Amino acid sequence: MAMSRSVTRAESFPLKSVRAQTADRRPPFRRPRIALPVPIPALKFQKAEPGVPDTPLTREATGLLHEFSTPLLFNHSHRVFFWASEMGRRSGQAFDAELLFVCAAFHDLGLLKKFSTANDRFEVDSANTARQFLERHGLPASRIQVAWDAIALHTTPGIAAYKPIEVELLYDGVGLDVLGIGYERFPEKVRNEVVSRYPRVNFKAEIARAFLGGFEHKTHTTEGTCNEDICSHFIRNYRRSNFYDQIQNSPFRDS
């Protein structure tokens, strides 16, 4: 009778060995598969608004909003910056005001066709656009990564508070302007001054439609995010994903 050879755990395991590398030996980010070009706005549009740090970065970012965005997003982005700046001032923490403005200026650009890819979330499209812009200006990678994180995470709850202060400030500024989070705690005088300068003309209806226009052609990118609520409201017979059903429909069998 032939003796059967015992099989060791290593011999029976089907995976081949992989090449290992510690995370600190790699770049701190991965580049997008598709990089849409970021235009340089005409000089006549490159003028920072009063109260915004006046630098080449902020002037060009303002120019992009003027020339390629919409009045809705121009006003929204500036309000977000001023809300976030006031929150930063009241916190007593030092923050990068120039970078914070760039984050506010770019955070919704991914809603526009010019800056929108077919398969990335609009927040990621916005963040990738900002990275390309900041790299063109020669900013260090660490500063660029803060901007990328702030923009990519500006609709994602529960994370910003554990990131650099600019990430949290952008998240909170967007939350105040779109949802009114923190409205009663925010100084009324500042609220009135900012809204007077950057009005909220039919903002509630128009920002919802701007969201829809940004991802109606790629609703799959909204799965598992708050943006699914926009799809559910506007798109007839839209069927949202269901995480519980996805778990139950997994092709794996329980052991």
Nearest to 80 by CA among 150, 184, 156, 136: 150
pLDDT tens column, 134-144: 999 999 999 99
CA distance linking residue 88 with residue 228, whole number of Å: 30
- Kindly report the backbone phi and psi dihedral angles of residue 18, in degrees, each rounded to the nearest multiple of 5, phi listed first: -115, 155
Confidence (pTM): 0.92
pLDDT tens column, 80-96: 999 999 999 999 999 99
Q: Where are the domains of the chain?
A: 50-216
| Predicted pLDDT at 113 | 97
Averaged pLDDT for residues 56-73: 98
Q: Is-contact 154 172, C-beta < 8 A? A: no
Write out the two tokens for 119. Answer: 């398969």
Distances in Å between the alpha carbon of 191 and those of 79, 83, 95? Answer: 9, 8, 21
In the predicted structure, residue 5 carries a pLDDT above the cut 80: no
Q: Is-contact 81 100, C-beta < 8 A? A: yes
Mean pLDDT, the chain, rounded, equals: 94
| Predicted pLDDT at 35 | 84
| Predicted pLDDT at 11 | 56
**DSSP conformational letter for 88:** H
* pLDDT tier, 158 (very low <50, low <70, confident <90, very high otherwise): very high
Q: Is-contact 126 109, C-beta < 8 A? A: yes
**DSSP conformational letter for 227:** T
Write out the two tokens for 195. Answer: 């809204």
Kindly report the CATH number that applies to the domain delimited by 50-216.
1.10.3210.10
| Predicted pLDDT at 9 | 53
